[in-house]
Amino acid sequence: MLRYILAVAAVAATVLPSASFAEKEATDTAKQELVARSELPAQSFRDYFKLFQPRKAAEPVEVSFSKDWLDQQPKATGGENWKCLSEALYFEARGESVRGQFAVAEVILNRVKSSRFPDSLCGVIHQGTGKKYQCQFTYTCDGRKEIIHEKTAYERVAKVARAAIDGVADELTEGATHYHTTSVRPSWSRVYKQTAKIGVHVFYRHNYRTASN
């Protein structure tokens, strides 16, 4: 019987690891994990925590109303309303000064803010389109196909449109919702209040103010 007990004990000692060996193995594993963590660069942890820090507010853009300033701006992009405004500026004001282009864009944006006009840039620009010479912007109903021939001019007015939509420029027309060139004098110009004259365009505000004023 004693021999049997001794034999079982010998087998158990051979097959099962001792408590001290198991503890030593666990300790070695923990040390390896600590070494692996300590080898991670501190910069990685800093970068990780930066993900949860609030982003800095975008710095204001200073507009100089010049072609040089426009040429320094990144290529403009945007959605359908941006495209509509870019097209309108190209056909309505590409020959105007940069300040004048911003002023025309401002009028269109003021109309969007007013309850008397459609509530989108495309809606304002194409109001009345389809009825010859009864639209708000002549190029949309003069019967001529809108083809952009001057690529550089379009790229510049597209940047004006982007900046105007983003609201980076100061107000130029005191809430104007109408304008005309100096070569004509529509009947409404004798009723509405003139607010500015920039380049070849004269700007007016109706006797009402826009919704934002």
* pLDDT in the model for residue 136: 85
Question: Which residue from 76, 79, 82, 50 is spatially nearest to 61, judged by alpha carbons?
Answer: 76
Name the pairing type of β-strands 178-181 and 201-205.
antiparallel
106: helix, strand or coil: helix
Token pair of 82 as six digits: 């941006």
* pLDDT in the model for residue 148: 93
Q: 4 — alpha (psi -120 to 50), left (phi > 0) or beta?
A: alpha
* pLDDT in the model for residue 19: 46
* pLDDT in the model for residue 3: 54
Count of CB atoms situated within 10 Å of the CB of 100:
23
How far apart are alpha carbons 135 and 1 in whole angstroms?
114
* pLDDT in the model for residue 154: 97
Token pair of 81 as six digits: 């309303």
Burial class (CB in 10 A: 0-12, 13-18, 19+), 121: buried
* pLDDT in the model for residue 184: 87
Token pair of 13 as six digits: 């000692």
* pLDDT in the model for residue 107: 96
Per run of 10 residues, the mean pLDDT along the chain (length 213 residues) is: 51 47 51 46 49 51 86 95 97 94 96 93 88 78 87 97 94 94 88 93 78 45
Count of CB atoms situated within 10 Å of the CB of 78:
15
End-to-end CA distance of the chain: 106
Question: Which residue from 179, 178, 175 is spatially nearest to 209, judged by alpha carbons?
Answer: 175
How far apart are alpha carbons 117 and 122 in whole angstroms?
11
Token pair of 64 as six digits: 């100089």
| Eight-class DSSP state of 76 | P
DSSP string, 106-164: HHHHHHHHSTTS-SSHHHHHTTTTTSTT-SSSGGGTSS-------HHHHHHHHHHHHHH
Asked if residues 157 and 90 have their Cβ atoms less than 8 Å apart, the reply is yes
Asked if residues 105 and 160 have their Cβ atoms less than 8 Å apart, the reply is yes
Amino acid at the residue 123 = G
Q: 């365009």: which residue's tokens? A: 201
